[in-house]
Structure 1
Amino acid sequence: MVQSVSFKYSDTTPWIYKDLEFGIDLDTRLALVGPNGAGKSTLLKLLYGELTPTKGMIRKNSHLRIARYHQHLHELLDLDASPIEYMMAQFPALKERDEVRKLIGRYGITGKQQVSPIRQLSDGQRCRVVFAWLAYQVPHLLLLDEPTNHLDIDTIDSLAEALNDFEGGMVLVSHDFRLISQVAEEIWICENEKVTKWNGDILDYKEMLKNKVLKENEKRKKMF
């Protein structure tokens, strides 16, 4: 539950959000859209608990497991460890290397990639290690911030399929309208210190943006 939440980064910076009031549950399939700098990633950080509201409160069920993907997560991996070593270090319950091999193999990390230092993997392969790490946490709620940045089209489609099979809640921030159209049931716009539900699908939103740009271009032409 997000209750009367307002947020700004410091006393001297402007408000990012004012008086937010909404709830998220395990049926939520939500995409956040809006201009750059409007606070989409900030909202995910607030929901995750990385940031604390300036005013108001965010209440969570004490048993809720949240897994958050953000676009710099693959940079935080232990680059000297192999994917197998990394997973075993993160999850001491994983005792058998064969078990870990199968686990990361499901995410396309196979053969030599499993035992090579993570620094030798491509950005896309590192993202796959991160997805395996997220999945093993068995979260109830996924917070995904630009998960497609280093992925090819086939992997994005596989991600969409996996998200549709996932039985928990999801809040997605992405510039990839194709992914949004595949996995989101609701679109919320982050803009002007608030979050507003968009009454339409992502293609309607894309069309609205296109018309907005065309109108602005027409205005500029008239000015000159």
Structure 2
Amino acid sequence: MFSRIKRDIEVVFERDPAARSVLEVLFCYPGLHAIWLYRLANALYKRGWVLLPRMISNFARFLTGIEIHPGATIGEGLFIDHGTGVVIGETTEIGNNVTLYQGVTLGGTGKEKGKRHPTIGNNVVVASGAKVLGSFTVGDNSKIGAGSVVLREVPPDSTVVGIPGKVVSRFGMKVDACGIGEVDLEHNNLPDPEGEMLFCLQRNMARLEARIEQLEKELKKQDESKSI
């Protein structure tokens, strides 16, 4: 238990440059408190308890603003930054070394029974306000851009942005309407597929206008030669 607590604290220092001391992390990081309370609720839930784990989950939501269903499965090294508004559903599975920012929802769709929440792979980053909805897998080492709504499976080593979420890069290479090239996968510099699509449309329109102007000049020359 103490080794897991130590690891949880180390994760905060690894991923948040604002962390200054162990005492600050212990008392001022709601994401850490939510994870610890989840583990208590999850241990009881696995033993067949229902009401008490849900009460602990509700208390954690009141205390931290983060709601984690006690039935969720969470690996080692989860870091919830700030965390207000984070929701993790009952059948969610989260791998190791995952980072969630504030406002993230790992939710389900409809009223189906069984597995209805996403499976998040290892080393995944889900940025602020992103919604991952449904029973599918987000592959290892992937990034979900801020405000994205992901409704289908994400391959490993991908970057997803937009509503609905679209894969805009894989293995560090940009995937867009204009071709393939290198892309910076830094969390603060994600591609903008809509902006790139508009750029492509503008470029194609400029080419068409130039071609039409050229054809009009050729027709004009032909008319003048006929008149002579």
| Range of TM-score over shorter length | under 0.3
Larger radius of gyration: 2
Please report the TM-score for the alignment, with normalisation by the length of structure 2.
0.23
